[in-house]
Structure formats: structure tokens, C-alpha cells
């Protein structure tokens, strides 16, 4: 048993020795590995230090460039800011001058507005009477007629056999186109002053005026057309008339046309007169053509008479020529006979010729 214990101790000692040698080898390997790691770290530290130095130099150089560019940019920005400040200052100065001019123009416009208002009040005072407003319409109508038509194509204040005198008529060959200028402006003025409440009275006045024109001036038995023109001396009044209806809802201008009375403003009347002028010129061309045809017919007849006389003259000339030729032949034979007589006794041939003559 004692031997067994000793053997076990020896085995334990051997195991412990093996473990110790194994631990020593491991420590030596660890020490070697540590040295290698330290050497590797040292070499890597040097490489990293060198790279960091190069990187620092590069960054320093780039920072210098950036700093230089920033300085140049700041200088340019300063110049740009100075230029922009000068441009803004000039623009503000120009805007100030423009505002001053605008204020001056506004003052002038206000003054002109006051003067126009005074002039309008004066015109309103002048046109306060119905007779004056009627005269103004007549003057405007006469001026338009004078501008659009030759004097021979129209007549002012034409009087009919009934005693009624229309403000103007346009002569269309054998027909007359009556034009009235006495529009009821008083009712329009009330429409402007009062508003829509006066529109029905305005409509009634215009319808009554259209009825009066149709009754007094559309007189076909006295040579008028079956229509007449109602001259409205203002575009504004004409517009109000166009937008007005009668109590039945019929537009006012349609009611007038139903009465064969055509409302016209200064602008539309001028257009109508231009169309009339074209028609009159067409009629004049037609009359000239008829006169030309009549003249050509007379010329044709005269040419026929001349042809007859010419043919007779030709016949007489041909007869005269034939007589002349006969006389010439007889003269020739007589000359021959005389020549023979002068030469001696007449020959038998000469005597025979003389006997024939």
C-alpha cells in the first residue's frame, strides 16, 4: 500500500513538473507575442504619426487656400455690396423723383378735374332750356350731314305741305329720308338724377317721340321713304335708350323700329350716312350709264345715217368714174381722128370711128 502511495506521489510530481514546464513555455510564448505586438504597435504608431503629419500639412495648406479665397470673397462681397448699395441708392433717388412727378401730375389732374367740373356746370346751365338743347341737337345733326354728304344731297329744315318742318332730309333721287333731332333729353336728365325710378317716364317719353315722328314725317305721298331717323345727340343717352324696355318688356329701340323710326347716335348716324352716300354714288353711276347708253344709241343712229350718205356718195363716185372713163375713151378716139385729119385725108377707119362718135 505504501508503494502505491509513492507511485501516486511520483505521478503527481511528474504531472506538476509537466505543468510547470508547460506554464513556462506559455509564458515565454506570451512574452514573445507581447514583444511582437509592441513592435507592431510601435511601427504602426510611427506610420500613423507620419500620415497624421502629412494630413495635417495638407489640411493646413487647404485651410490656407480657403482662407485666401475667403479673404478674396470678402473683398468681392464688399465691392458687390458697395455696388448694390449704390444701385439701391440711385433707384431710391429715381423713385423719389418719380413720386414727385406723380404728385405734380396728380395735382394737375385735380386742377383739370376742377376746371372740367366748372365747365360741365357752365354747359349744364347753358343747356338748361329745352330749346337750347334742341338747338344743340340740330347743330350736331347739321355738322354730321355736312361732314358726310355733299350739300346737294341733303336739306335742313325741310317743310312739308302739312306745315310740319323736319330738322333735315336726305335726298335719295326721287325720295326723301327724314331725320329728327328733338330727342326728349329732359326725361333722360331726370333718369340720371333720380335713378331707375324715372326709367318708366323716360321710356314713355321716347315712345311718344317715336309716335310723333312717324305721324308727322313719314309721308310717302309727299315723297318720303316709309322710315325716318331719330337722332340721339349723345352716345350715353343712346346707350340708356338701348337698355330700356317698355312696360310690356319690349326693348325701346325695337318699339321704335316697329313704328318705322330708327334711333341713331352720332356714330351710327355717320355710318348710315356713309352707306347712303355709297348708294347715291351708285345711283349716279347708274344715271351716267343710262346717259352713256342713250348717247351711244344716238351715235349709232348718226353712224347709220352717215353710212347711208357714204354709200350714196360711193355710188355717185363710181358713176362719175365710169363717166370719166367713157369720156376719156371718146376723147382718145377724137384725138386720134384729129391726128389723122392733120396728117392727110381721113381714112376709112377714121371716118368709121367718127361716125360712131
For 263, the 3-state DSSP assignment is strand
Give the number of C-alpha atoms closer than 13 A to the C-alpha of residue 57, restricted to the C-beta side: 5
Query: Cα(164)–Cα(214) distance, rounded to whole angstroms?
Result: 12
* Tens-place pLDDT, residues 74-124: 666 556 556 666 776 777 777 677 777 777 777 776 676 566 555 545 444
For residue 17, pLDDT beyond 50:
yes
Top-ranked range on mean pLDDT: pick from 1-15, 81-95, 134-148: 134-148
**251 touches 245 (CB < 8 A):** yes
* Tens-place pLDDT, residues 264-308: 988 888 888 888 778 777 666 666 666 766 776 766 777 777 777
Q: Which of 246, 252, 249 is nearest to 230 (CA)?
A: 252
Q: Walk across the sheet containing 228-231 and list its strands.
A: 154-159, 165-172, 175-180, 228-231, 261-264
Q: Report DSSP letters for 123-139, one per residue.
A: HHHHTTSHHHHHHHHHH
State how far Cα 133 lies from the chain centre.
35
What is the model's pLDDT at position 127? 44
Break the chain into its structural domains and give their ranges.
120-264
Give the pLDDT mean for 18-24. 56
Sequence-separated (6 or more) residues with CB below 8 Å from residue 206: 183, 184, 187, 241, 244, 252, 256
What is the model's pLDDT at position 314? 80
Whole-structure pTM over 0.75, yes or no?
no
Lowest mean pLDDT among 114-118, 129-133, 238-242, 268-272: 129-133
* Tens-place pLDDT, residues 166-219: 999 999 878 899 999 888 888 888 888 888 888 889 889 999 999 999 999 999
Instruction: Calculate the alpha carbon distances from 38 to 24, 43, 126 in Å.
Output: 21, 9, 122
What is the model's pLDDT at position 179? 93
Sequence-separated (6 or more) residues with CB below 8 Å from residue 132: 126
Higher pLDDT, 220 or 100: 220
Q: Report DSSP letters for 187-208, one per residue.
A: HHHHHHHH-GGGHHHHHHHHHH
Query: Cα(234)–Cα(202) distance, rounded to whole angstroms?
Result: 15
State how far Cα 136 lies from the chain centre.
33
Phi/psi class of residue 168: alpha, beta or left (left: φ > 0; alpha: ψ in -120 to 50)? beta
* Tens-place pLDDT, residues 305-334: 777 777 787 888 888 888 888 787 887 887
Instruction: Calculate the alpha carbon distances from 25 to 13, 14, 32, 36, 144 in Å.
Output: 18, 16, 10, 16, 136
Q: Which of 132, 138, 210, 209 is nearest to 167 (CA)?
A: 138
CA dihedral 232, 235, 241, 243 (to 10 degrees): 160
Amino acid at each position: 500500500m505504501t508503494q502505491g502511495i509513492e507511485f501516486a506521489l511520483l505521478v503527481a510530481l511528474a504531472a506538476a513538473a509537466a505543468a510547470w514546464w508547460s506554464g513556462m513555455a506559455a509564458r515565454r510564448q506570451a512574452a514573445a507575442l507581447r514583444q511582437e505586438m509592441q513592435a507592431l504597435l510601435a511601427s504602426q504608431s510611427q506610420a500613423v504619426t507620419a500620415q497624421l503629419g502629412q494630413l495635417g500639412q495638407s489640411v493646413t495648406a487647404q485651410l490656407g487656400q480657403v482662407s485666401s479665397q475667403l479673404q478674396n470673397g470678402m473683398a468681392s462681397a464688399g465691392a458687390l455690396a458697395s455696388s448694390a448699395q449704390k444701385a439701391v441708392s440711385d433707384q431710391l433717388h429715381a423713385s423719389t423723383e418719380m413720386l414727385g412727378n406723380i404728385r405734380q401730375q396728380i395735382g394737375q389732374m385735380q386742377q383739370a378735374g376742377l376746371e372740367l367740373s366748372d365747365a360741365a356746370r357752365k354747359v349744364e346751365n347753358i343747356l338748361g332750356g329745352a330749346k337750347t338743347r334742341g338747338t344743340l341737337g340740330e347743330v350736331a345733326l347739321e355738322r354730321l350731314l355736312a361732314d358726310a354728304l355733299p350739300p346737294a344731297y341733303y336739306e335742313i329744315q325741310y317743310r312739308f305741305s302739312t306745315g310740319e318742318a323736319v330738322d333735315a332730309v336726305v335726298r335719295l333721287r326721287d325720295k326723301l329720308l327724314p331725320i329728327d333731332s328733338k330727342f326728349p333729353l329732359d326725361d333722360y336728365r331726370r333718369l340720371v338724377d333720380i335713378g331707375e325710378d324715372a326709367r318708366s317716364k323716360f321710356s314713355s317719353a321716347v315712345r311718344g317721340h317715336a309716335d310723333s315722328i312717324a305721324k308727322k314725317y313719314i309721308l310717302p305721298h309727299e315723297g318720303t321713304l316709309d322710315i325716318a331717323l331719330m337722332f340721339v345727340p349723345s352716345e350715353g343717352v343712346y346707350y340708356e335708350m338701348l337698355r330700356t324696355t317698355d312696360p310690356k318688356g319690349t326693348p325701346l329701340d325695337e318699339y321704335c323700329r316697329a313704328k318705322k323710326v330708327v334711333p341713331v347716335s352720332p356714330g351710327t348716324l355717320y355710318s348710315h350716312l356713309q352707306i347712303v352716300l355709297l348708294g347715291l354714288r351708285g345711283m349716279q353711276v347708274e344715271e351716267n350709264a343710262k346717259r352713256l347708253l342713250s348717247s351711244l344709241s344716238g351715235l349709232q343712229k348718226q353712224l347709220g345715217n352717215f353710212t347711208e350718205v357714204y354709200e350714196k356718195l360711193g355710188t355717185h363716185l363710181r358713176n362719175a368714174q365710169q363717166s370719166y372713163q367713157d369720156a376719156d375713151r371718146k376723147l382718145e378716139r377724137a384725138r386720134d381722128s384729129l391726128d389723122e385729119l392733120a396728117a392727110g385725108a381721113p381714112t376709112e377707119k377714121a371716118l368709121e370711128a367718127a361716125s360712131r362718135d
